[in-house]
């Protein structure tokens, strides 16, 4: 994967994470779905941390590419 495409995908992932956080905040503000919001928040946080902590995860574990090569 070339560098420009990787940067675009990283930007898309970051925007999706922001949208999930905003939706979770709105759901909490209106008082419903605490368990759903907790799961969404935990999943988004785990995905974001995985991208920050191990950005070269695909190179270390090629099985995670799902045949994209």
pLDDT tens-digit map of 13-50:
888 888 888 887 787 778 777 777 787 788 888 888 87
CA atoms within 13 A on the CB side of 38: 5
How confident is residue 1, by pLDDT bands cut at 50, 70 and 90?
A: low
pLDDT for the residue numbered 62: 62
Structure-token match 């956080």, residue found: 21
> How far is residue 50 CA from its own chain's centroid?
8
Q: What tokens were used for 37?
A: 């919001």
pLDDT at 7: 83
């Amino acid at each position: 994967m070339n560098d420009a495409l990787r940067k675009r995908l990283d930007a898309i992932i970051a925007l999706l994470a922001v949208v999930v956080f905003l939706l979770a905040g709105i759901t909490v503000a209106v008082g419903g779905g605490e368990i759903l919001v907790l799961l969404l928040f935990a999943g988004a946080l785990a995905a974001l941390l995985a991208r920050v902590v191990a950005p070269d995860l695909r190179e270390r574990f090629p099985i995670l590419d799902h045949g994209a090569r």
